[in-house]
Chain A
Amino acid sequence: MKKIIPFLIIFGLCVLFYKELFYSHPEELPSALIGQSVPAFTLYDLTRPNIKFTETNFPHDRASLLNVWATWCHVCAQEHEMMMKITNEYHVPLYSIDYKDNADAARKWLANAGNPFILTGNDASGDVAIDLGVYGTPETFLISKKGKITYRYVGAITQEAWDQVLYPMIKKMDGEK
Chain B
Amino acid sequence: MQINHCPKVEHSDDDFTSIKRYKSFVAVLLWMTVLMTSLTYASEDLHHFTTKSDELRYQTLIQQTRCVVCQGQNIADSNAPLATDLREKIFQMIHDKKSNEEIKNYLTKRYGEFILYQPRWNKLTYFLWAFPFISLLTLLGFLFSYALPKRRVS
Interface string of B1-23 (1 = CB under 8 A from A): 10111111000000000000000
Would you call B111 and A27 a contact (CB within 8 A)? no
Interface residues on B, range: 20 to 34
- How many A residues are at the interface, by size bracket? 20 to 34
Q: Is the interface of A mostly helix, strand, loop or mixed?
A: loop
| A123 CB to nearest chain B CB (Å) | 11
Contact of A130 among B3, B4, B8, B86 (CB under 8 A): B86
Which residues of chain B are within 8 angstroms of A70 by Cβ–Cβ distance?
A: 6, 8
Partner of B114, one of A29, A73, A76, A136: A29
Cα–Cα distance between A135 and B1 once the two chains are bound (Å): 17
Q: Is B8 a contact partner of A99 (Cβ separation < 8 A)? A: yes
A30 within 8 A of B: yes
* A138 cross-chain contacts in B, Cβ below 8 A: 5-6
Map CB proximity to B onto A59-86 as digits: 1 under 8 Å, 0 otherwise: 0000000000010111110000000000
Contact with B along A115-149 (1 / 0, CB 8 A): 00000000000100011110111110000000000
> B81: which A residues are within 8 A, CB to CB?
100, 126
**Minimum Cβ distance to chain A for residue B135 (Å):** 14
Smallest Cβ distance from B125 to chain A, in angstroms?
15
Interface string of B90-116 (1 = CB under 8 A from A): 000000000000000000111110100
A: residues with CB less than 8 A from B are 26-33, 70, 72-76, 99-100, 126, 130-133, 135-139, 154-156
19 A-B pairs (CB sep. < 8 Å): A29-B114, A30-B112, A32-B108, A32-B110, A70-B6, A73-B8, A74-B6, A75-B6, A76-B6, A126-B85, A130-B85, A130-B110, A131-B110, A136-B8, A136-B69, A137-B8, A154-B5, A156-B4, A156-B5
For the complex of A and B, list the 7 residue pairs with the smallest distance between their C-beta atoms, beginning with the closest.
Answer: A32-B112, A73-B6, A155-B4, A133-B110, A136-B7, A135-B68, A155-B5
